[in-house]
Structure formats: C-alpha cells, structure tokens
Structure 1
C-alpha cells in the first residue's frame, strides 16, 4: 500500500470530525528582565515561539487531547515564513491545513507577547491576514461532505471582516455560521475579551446561528450588559445566571457555556443551569494563564462530539484549563484525554 493510500485508510477509520475556523497567529513570547520606562532598555531573557489564536489553539489542543476524529483548520494566513510556521505546526499535529488560504497581499497575523515574571503579560498584535478573513474564504459544505460534525469559530471580536455589521443588519460571522448550520454542522462559537463599544451588537447578530456558545464570564457580561464581577473582582453568580438566560433569549439554540476560573455554568433551553466548580490551583504552579480558556473550549468540543453528559464535559474542561496553566505558550501542557479522565476519577 502506498503512503497516500495508507493516509486515506487511516482517515476513513476516523469517526466524525471538528473543523476550527478563525484566528491563526504566530506568537513570539519574550520574557523580560523587567518592564522598562519609555526610552529605557530591558533584557530579553528567554523567547518562546508558538502558534496561537482561537482556532489554532483549540484545534491544537484537540490533537493533544488525542481526539480520534478528523481535525481541520480553516482561515487565512499570509504567503510568508510565518504562514509556513502555522501550517507546519498544525500539519505535524495531524491537522488538515487545506482550509488555510495564503493571501499574497497580507502577512500572517502575529503577536509579540512581553512577559515579566509575576506580572500580567502585554500584547502587541498585528492582525494581517486574520483581519482580511470573510465568510467567502470558508466553505462549510465542503467540510460537511467530508464527514465533519462540529464547526468551531473563534474568536469573534478579533476578526474584523466577520464582525462588521453590514447595511442589511447581518455580519460575515452570522452568514458563515448560518451556512454551517444549513450544511448540517453543529456550530460552536467563542469570543475574545474586547473593549469594543459595539461588542454586544456585533456578537448579537451571530447568536441566532450559534448552537453552542463557549465564553468566559467577562465576555458574557459584555455581550449582555450584565455586571458579573464586583469592584473587588468577586464573581457575582446571580449576574452570571442572568447573563446565561439572556444569551439563550438572544438566540443561542442548544447551550451557552460560561466559564470562569472559579466555576462553570451550562445553560440549555428549557432546563435548569448546570453548575460545576473548579478545583483550586496553586498560584506557584501557574506559568501562564494564556490559552486556559481555549483549553477549556477544546475539551468541551471533544465532549460534545462524543455526546458526553454535561457534568463529565465540564469536569474534564476544568482539568484541561488547569493543565494549560503550567505551560509557557497557549498550547503547552495539554495532556491526553485519558489523563484528564483518570484525574477526574481520582477526585470523585
């Protein structure tokens, strides 16, 4: 049997699949000696190179979790060295990169992440090809015909070509998600924590075409106008209940999942919310919080694809996020799903 036939045979044995569309970014993480004042010099003590963005992180995490179905990436990159880095990293993880379009007139999106140990990170971002992505660049029916089941889109509010509301009141994201639903794919959506004053309006037009929404508590607050943390940073749980109900009322069809470091709320139409609390993580074990939300989301997609009970999905999702905290980049530290399931059994 030839190599191509062997690959086809392996793919044919895989059940279903998840396509992750949206942001693909090359991250250069610089660990600094200190944060300098303007005009001063700081040493770069260490550098890490990673591939990030909502779609890139989630699809990579799914591969690390050992997802047995097909995985594909869809979006735009530049026809440049960074674009090759993205494709190579994903392809080496067994992810189909045929849906990544290299735009000759754009550079690949990239971020310079400045990290001072013990302090919050600072991000310098250039959108490049991500900013050029529109619904015309992705064909959901192609993935549906290939046997994929779930269509993830992330991050809304960091994809201007999809976020922009057109004169007809629709956005590229709403059209893309509608096309995915019509093709028979289950749509799953994530946001980024943007300060855009039009946040609620832009995400709102996409919600009626979203089967599952997987977002953090601050994004839920911005999408609904509900205050979810008090002035001291404490979680306002009644506010999260209200936010979840508002998201369902706005059109989310099957489930709104709101996660925070402390807790997860799973809202579904006609059912009482399911609440699961995370276990504490020793602050000394936290290398970086970047990517923890994506790890949570990847585990949710894994469980949705496998039709697991909500409680099981939330438990492993909390576990995946906790494991991610120990990694330097957004996708480091993600174990195989068997590890998360074993860990979950030990805690029960």
Structure 2
C-alpha cells in the first residue's frame, strides 16, 4: 500500500522582519525582531507534516540554487528527515527568498525574489520517481507562483501536465494557490483543474480563480458558488477553502462541511506567515489517513492556530498528539 506525500513547487527562504509600524513613503521605521526560515508551499507543507512526528514518508521536490539560502533549505529538509532526491540545485539563479514585513495584530507584506522558482521546469519535477518510491499524494504549491509552469499555452500549462503525470503514475494530487494579482491567474487555474483531486485556496484566490465576487471571509453563499464552479471545472474530489472565519469542504460527491476554528487570542499571534499552509498540511494528513472531512478540517484548523504562534511558518507546530 502506498504511503507518503511528495511536496513539490516553491522553496523559499523567508526573512521575517517584525516592524513597529508601516512606513509612509521615504519614512523610517524600526525592525523589532528578525528571524529566518524556510517558506513557500512545498517547504511549509513538508515541514509542517514533519513537525507532526508521525513517521510519514516525505519527499522534497523543486529547484534551489547553490547559495547560502540553499544551505538553509537543505538543512531544513535534512532536519525533517525527508527524501531530497527530487530537490535539485542550479547555479543559474539564486534560491528564491522573501523579505516579509510583519506588523503584529495587523498584516504581513511580502517582497519576493523568485530566483530558481521561476526556472523550475516540467523535467525538474520527477513525479514518476516519487511514485516509484511509494508516495501516495503529490502536492504542488503554489499555482500562479511557479514561473515557467504557470505559462498558459493553448489552454494548457506545465503545472497541469506535471499533475497529469502524477495521476498517471498512480498518485492523488493536491494543489494550493497563492494570493497574487496575476493577469493569467484564472486561466492558469482552469488549465490545472482537470488534473487536481484536492484544491486548497482562500476566499481571495477563489474570487480570482472564478470571477465570482466574494464580499469577505464570511460570505458563505459566494464562496459556495465559487467552489461549485471549481468542481465543475474538473476538481475530482474536493475543493477545500480556508478563511480566518471558516473552513469549508466541498466534495465532488456532494459532501458539504463547514467548520469554524477555535478562537486564537490576539496576544498569542506572533505572525500569520504560513498559517494557510499549516491548514493544508493538517487536511492532507487526514486525507492520507482516510479521515472524514470534518476531522481533516479540525486538524487543519489546529495546525494553523499553532503556526500563528511562531515567527516563521512552521517553528511552533507541535507533534500530532498535542494537536489532537
């Protein structure tokens, strides 16, 4: 029986700056604290799954450079005990990195250098090798931050073809989106939908992926309409939406689950960086283990709440036994 999750896509080093206020143009504000860690969909999901300490086999897949930031990524993957055969290196560009400006109690803003992430090609993602090693689920994140793989040509993308290969190799596929205002955002999503089993996204991404106006995190009727459109576009098993107020599971079999997370006190929130990825990791673990949708959402919410208490995306996520 296949077991394990391959995590492919964005590998980023986040340099998180906690600032005292957001400056006006040309102003100076102080950085109260600075911490460095890995980020990006593939990295955050893999490291969150590793933090659960369940012994689940994990496979790192993507492209990094040969610089100092690459060493940070490699050390994190080694610490997670993950298979790194699919994590390739190149000297053609620096490892992707982001300066994250975190304003406690308010928001975070990202200044992103794509580096090697923009060079990632279909040939770099050895899905067949991961399947041969026994991986059951292939996760790809983030769609619309994958450079070459997001290019839309005749209604197809490299990301869609990679996902199709994963399914042909016998794996279930899961995809997460990113909140970027890219001109081809919707087209890139639509090209991938027929090859996705589980799609993770938030309300902003749902609006951009479907063209349906969503008033906010609690606009359940519009969110449901967006989920229905994504299912009609080809998502095979479930559209899973997360907002600060809700977790929603829309199954292709007609299952509709809404779950509200337990409240997190504002003073306990250090940074929201990576909370959505922790939610996805919790749900993916439940999916892998055959849990019911409500249990998947519950673990996703608890993992996200734990992530909020750390400065980096995954440093504060505890073992699964503590989350349960």
Measured against aligned partners, the alpha-carbon deviations of 1:126-157 in whole angstroms (never above 9, x if no partner) come to 00000111111111111111111000000001
Residue 187 of structure 1 is matched in structure 2 by 173
Q: Is the 8 A contact 1:292 1:321 kept in 2?
A: yes
Q: Is the 8 A contact 2:136 2:170 kept in 1?
A: yes
Measured against aligned partners, the alpha-carbon deviations of 1:18-46 in whole angstroms (never above 9, x if no partner) come to 01000000111122344444444433332
Q: Name the CA shift for 1:190/1:273 in 2 (closer, same or farther; >3 Å).
A: same
Q: Name the CA shift for 1:261/1:35 in 2 (closer, same or farther; >3 Å).
A: closer
CA distance in 2 between counterparts of 1:89 and 1:310 reads: 30
Q: Is the 8 A contact 1:64 1:334 kept in 2?
A: yes
Residue 304 of structure 1 is matched in structure 2 by 287
**TM-score normalised by structure 1 residue count:** 0.89
SS in 1 for 2:163: helix
Q: Is the 8 A contact 1:32 1:116 kept in 2?
A: yes
Q: CA deviation at 1:333?
A: 1.4
Give the 5 Å matches for 1:256-267.
256-267=239-250
Pair 1:178 & 2:159 matched: no
Q: CA deviation at 1:124?
A: 1.2
CA distance in 1 between counterparts of 2:281 and 2:108 reads: 23
Give the 5 Å matches for 1:1-348.
16-166=3-153, 168-229=154-215, 233=216, 235-341=218-324
Q: Which has the higher contact order (CA 8 A, sep 6+)?
A: 2
Measured against aligned partners, the alpha-carbon deviations of 1:206-251 in whole angstroms (never above 9, x if no partner) come to 010001111112111211111222xxx4621111111111111000
Measured against aligned partners, the alpha-carbon deviations of 1:136-181 in whole angstroms (never above 9, x if no partner) come to 1111111111111000000001111111112x32100000000000
Residue 10 of structure 1 is matched in structure 2 by none
**TM-score normalised by structure 2 residue count:** 0.96
CA distance in 2 between counterparts of 1:170 and 1:154 reads: 17
Question: Which structure is larger by alpha-carbon Rg, 1 or 2?
Answer: 1
- Gaps of at least 5 residues in structure 1 are 1-13, 342-348
SS in 2 for 1:319: helix
SS in 1 for 2:228: helix
CA distance in 2 between counterparts of 1:338 and 1:234 reads: 30
Measured against aligned partners, the alpha-carbon deviations of 1:285-328 in whole angstroms (never above 9, x if no partner) come to 11111111000000111011111111111111111111111111
CA distance in 2 between counterparts of 1:213 and 1:145 reads: 24
Q: CA deviation at 1:93?
A: 1.6
Measured against aligned partners, the alpha-carbon deviations of 1:63-100 in whole angstroms (never above 9, x if no partner) come to 00123221011000011111111011111121112211
- Gaps of at least 5 residues in structure 2 are none
Q: Name the CA shift for 1:272/1:308 in 2 (closer, same or farther; >3 Å).
A: closer
CA distance in 2 between counterparts of 1:35 and 1:253 reads: 42
SS in 2 for 1:205: helix
Q: Is the 8 A contact 2:48 2:281 kept in 1?
A: yes
